[in-house]
Chain A
Amino acid sequence: MHGETSSPATTYPPGWRKPAWWPAVSRWQALAALISSVTVLPLLVIALSFADVNADIWAHLSEFVLPRLLANTALLLLGVGVGVLLLGVPLGWLVAVHEFPGRRVFNWALMLPLAMPAYVMAFTQIGLLDFSGVLQSWLREVWGSSAWFPPIRSRGGVVLVMSLALYPYVYLLARDAFASQGRRALEAAQSLGLSPWQGFWRVALPMARPWLIGGVSLALMEALADFGTVSIFSFDAFTTAIYKAWFAMFSLSSASQLSSLLVLLVFALIWLEQRLRGGRAYHAGRLAQPQSRLPLHGWPAALACGFASLVLLLAFVLPFGQLLVWVARVWEADLDARYIDFVWHSLALAIMAAGLVTLCALALSYAQRRDPSPTARLWVRLATLGYAVPGTVLAVGLFIPVAALDNLLIAWLGAALPEGTTAIFKGTLAVMLLAYLARFAAVGFSSVDAAMQRITRSQEETARSLGVAGFALLRRVHVPMLRGGLLTAVLMVCVDVMKEMPITLMTRPFGWDTLAVRIFEMTSEGEWERAALPAVALVLVGLLPVLLLARASSHTGAHR
């Protein structure tokens, strides 16, 4: 009798006459399609890029660049994949199932590296661990030599820094997986004669596998999308190669061809994740009662505490401390009117983008609500695909059609335009905001839609039976009930936009330098100290969503 909830609008029998309200349905699909075009169009442009191949440049790329890019990317994925697992899984296991000194603090503190963009981590680690850095200087003072110290500016260094920056994804998901379902199954395993160690390998780890795969794939997606870290390390990756093809070789077609290879890698990763997970999310019986943890004493406790401390030290405390030391040295010189401009530009962009993204997320979520057909759902899926597409790719994919549109308009309007007009939309804030929308629509959508799910059908229908419909319904029922979700979306997108480097770098209007752009400029000249002040600002802003996350996970009760 309630089959109507899912009744797609298209399955009405033939001969069914269209009632007066019918056009509303296609209107919602059109809206979702319009929003998703911002993501779909760049991907289409990228996919069609091989139609026009510049033979000279491509020969150069395929002979000298591509083999290295592929080898580097393989190494990066493998290294970071192993790295985040080695850090994230044991930490999640320790914090979720055991009791040891400091566990309560580690529970949330181990998320802190999420606040630090990987590129900030990169240059502070170089500052810390390089030949002239604090650590090696100290080693030389004590032992007279630090020649045995492995060089940080190496492939190993990139993998180390990215693993330290990205392990929280695995940690968070592993912790939740172990906490929500490990306990009872582990007790069953123990009653069947397995030691806790055997229980971990034979029960907890296999059960947590879907979550672990999810966490690793998030981390690897970030690693593939990363631009700042690899460019600081001068490590040739697809993102930096795309940037160079465009801004050094001025070959947009090569840039888009490289982009299409990168997108292929990303989609292969997503496909692999789906396959490995096999749609198998083991359903957790939510534990109502706070679970008892396995207390550790003596050496095991010291080891657990020591391991967690070491990771926290390396991944957050030391880099942040190094930033503060630098800031103390340079703030008098750097805290000038230009710095205020960077902050202002970052904030203004973030707020505009967050407003746009949140509005579109609301529209998508509401459209899916009004029209629950598979077609509408497909458009929403497409609109939120951009989270997986690296910023460099989106920047290239959006620039090409916008430039084409500009040329078309200039040719068409011709004389009506002022003399020497070469750009209309190219290089405007509007294009930049569209790129952010494509990249972060999923971030906004997930917060808004989670809140939308909590509004029941009967609440909407009650309002309608009381004479409230259309826009008034949205204003009086949805917006107030979605307030929390909308605010979360705004905050999350704001922070992501402020940290975003490649889109900002590649699409910004002339002179729109943000904190991230400043960091890129200073670090590309090796001036770590002068990148410190904007970096601290980004880390402080980045702490906000981490606090939100920590609070949300303490609300669920499982991790208190």
Chain B
Amino acid sequence: MTSSPLLQLDAISQRYARHSVVEQLSLSLQRGEIGCLLGSSGCGKTTVLRCIAGFEPLSGGRILIDGQLLADARLHTPAHKRQIGMVFQDYGLFPHLTVAGNVGFGLDALARDARAAQVARMLALVGLDGLAQRYPHELSGGQQQRVALARALAPQPRLLLLDEPFSNLDVSLRERLGQEVRDILKAAQATAILVTHDQHEAFAMADKVGVMEQGRIMQWDSPYNLYHQPANRMVADFIGQGVLLPGEVCADACIRIELGEACSLRPHGFAAGSRVEVLLRPDDVAHDDASPLRARVAARAFRGAEFLYTLALPSGQTVLSLAPSHHDHAIGEEIGVRLDAEHLVAFAI
């Protein structure tokens, strides 16, 4: 990994008429990485993207790419001079141009032959060779998406931005295309930032994910860490499922909760005897008929390969538990459970 990041956002802010859309937001992305801004609609994630692209001016902070200053409160490099590609939610294809015309749109500087070669290379990359002479309206949604991607990649931008790239596609197509787009971006050695409200999409595509709320990034980390080491309650709540259970610190790396003693490899940093809340994911609570600890089934959701049980502990606390689907228990039944956590996430009360 190179030491200096390709993209660096340095405490950027964006305000409209006293209303702050983005507030003191920082992140950095290494060359070749795919980043993702994840958040519910209205959290400011698209605005961040538009600031990077150059469609919105900054109210404060700095945007640097390759160490070069692109924008701050005074400087605004116009979008067309930034060499940053963008794929829009509605693709923004030009209806009056063929697929080849669309992909070659940003390649003016190249000679005719070089342009044709680059267009062909891009179409091959996204798997659309043979469709060069079609018009956008003759393509399916997924194909249009790939044309937009090829068009944005063709001038070899320093950075690629994708705004909710799959929101116009149906769910079955989304997952497949997400993987495909990731492969395409990696093959093109592109650095990219994607914006989405869909956690699965973010996890499937990105190396780094930032969870956003109210114009701020709550945590900028790998998907694995976001899930297993959420920095705060908001991230814990937004990412994945789980419940918070009260507990008492009993050792450097252990906390006692109703289900037993939860321990991790590293110390958690809380003083012994202090009261905390522990995050329990559904996969942290295992179903074990032999366990003396019993819990009553309060609700169940069949997911094919597994059941997601909502279990009521003797104290009345509920926890979630994932069990293989041959463990078929009715609501009201008492079953044995056991703590099976490798990561320990706790928050001070």
Q: Give A residues with C-beta under 8 Å from B.
A: 1-4, 7, 11-13, 16-17, 19-21, 456, 458-459, 461-469, 476-477, 480-481, 483
Is the CB–CB distance between A458 and B106 below 8 Å?
no
Is the CB–CB distance between B106 and A468 below 8 Å?
yes
Verify if B155 is at the interface (C-beta below 8 Å from A): yes
Is the CB–CB distance between B74 and A458 below 8 Å?
no
A2 to B41, CA, bound (A): 10
Known: A467-B155, A468-B80. A19 touches B74 (CB 8 A): yes
Verify if B303 is at the interface (C-beta below 8 Å from A): no
Contact among B80, B148, B161 with A467 in the assembled complex (CB-CB below 8 Å): B80
4 smallest A-B Cβ distances: which pairs? A466-B106, A458-B92, A458-B88, A469-B80
Chain A residues within an 8 Å CB radius of B74: 17, 19
Chain A residues within an 8 Å CB radius of B42: 1
Q: Give B residues with C-beta under 8 Å from A.
A: 15-18, 21, 41-47, 50, 53-57, 59, 73-76, 78-86, 88-97, 105-106, 108, 148, 151-152, 155, 157, 161
Is the CB–CB distance between B46 and A456 below 8 Å?
no
User: Chain B residue with minimal CB distance to A465?
Assistant: B86
Give, as a whole number of angstroms, the nearest-CB distance from A485 to chain B: 12
| From B45, B74, B92, residue with most partner A Cβ within 10 Å | B92
A466 to B79, CA, bound (A): 8
A21 to B161, CA, bound (A): 22
A468 to B95, CA, bound (A): 17
Is the CB–CB distance between A464 and B88 below 8 Å?
no
Chain A residues within an 8 Å CB radius of B41: 1
Give, as a whole number of angstroms, the nearest-CB distance from B114 to chain A: 16
Is the CB–CB distance between A11 and B152 below 8 Å?
no
Is the CB–CB distance between B57 and A19 below 8 Å?
yes
| From B82, B88, B148, residue with most partner A Cβ within 10 Å | B88
Given A463-B105, A465-B157: 17 more A-B contacts, CB < 8 Å: A1-B47, A11-B17, A19-B75, A19-B76, A458-B88, A459-B93, A461-B92, A462-B88, A462-B152, A463-B80, A464-B79, A464-B80, A465-B84, A465-B85, A465-B86, A466-B105, A468-B80
Known: A19-B74, A463-B105, A465-B80. A458 touches B85 (CB 8 A): no
A512 to B129, CA, bound (A): 60
A461 to B94, CA, bound (A): 12
Is the CB–CB distance between B96 and A462 below 8 Å?
no
A12 to B19, CA, bound (A): 10
Is the CB–CB distance between A12 and B92 below 8 Å?
no
Chain A residues within an 8 Å CB radius of B56: 4
Is the CB–CB distance between A11 and B88 below 8 Å?
no
Contact among A1, A17, A468 with B108 in the assembled complex (CB-CB below 8 Å): A468
Is the CB–CB distance between A458 and B89 below 8 Å?
yes
Known: A7-B16, A468-B106. A481 touches B73 (CB 8 A): no
Give, as a whole number of angstroms, the nearest-CB distance from A286 to chain B: 20
Give, as a whole number of angstroms, the nearest-CB distance from B216 to chain A: 14
Give, as a whole number of angstroms, the nearest-CB distance from B190 to chain A: 14
Contact among A2, A16, A462 with B92 in the assembled complex (CB-CB below 8 Å): A462
User: Chain A residue with minimal CB distance to B73?
Assistant: A17
Is the CB–CB distance between A3 and B16 below 8 Å?
yes
Chain B residues within an 8 Å CB radius of A20: 75-76, 78
Give, as a whole number of angstroms, the nearest-CB distance from A411 to chain B: 48
User: Chain A residue with minimal CB distance to B80?
Assistant: A469
Chain B residues within an 8 Å CB radius of A21: 76, 78
What are 19 pairs between A and B in contact, CB < 8 Å? A1-B42, A3-B16, A458-B89, A459-B93, A461-B53, A461-B88, A461-B92, A462-B86, A462-B92, A462-B151, A463-B105, A464-B79, A466-B80, A467-B80, A468-B108, A469-B79, A469-B80, A480-B94, A480-B96
Chain A residues within an 8 Å CB radius of B82: 465
